[in-house]
Amino acid sequence: MMNTVKNRVQLIGNLGATPEVKSLENGNKVARFSVATSENYLNKKGEKITATQWHNVVAWGNLAGIAEKLLQKGNEVVIDGKLSSRSYTAKDGSKKYVTEVVASGLLLNEKK
């Protein structure tokens, strides 16, 4: 199995904002949201440091609908997906590069 999986990402983190969901002309939905992951470590002085990374996530179709219904800012989520890189030309003519996680599954990690 592992030999066939070339591009897989799993994130466990907190939503930075409620997903932004759009319905496309073809009836498909797309949801975009950011997830923060944090890790703690001790620096050379023994002080606890928290390093936070922000990840852009995009979900399509039924998964976008689920994200729209269930996810809210601050929720802890588990995201399965793959990394995707793309580029586009901004309104000012400059070339922009984006790396995002295209979600294939999501789980709301509800705290009891």
**CA atoms of 44 and 47, how far apart (whole Å):** 7
pTM summary value: 0.84
Q: What is the pLDDT of residues 55-92, one digit of tens each?
A: 999 999 999 999 999 999 999 999 999 999 999 999 99
Q: Is 105 left (phi over 0), alpha (psi -120 to 50) or beta?
A: beta
Each domain of the chain, given as residue ranges in start order, spans 9-108
Please state the φ and ψ torsions of residue 37, each to the nearest 5 degrees.
-115, 140
Other CB atoms within a 10 A radius of the CB of residue 60 amount to 16
CATH number belonging to domain 9-108: 2.40.50.140
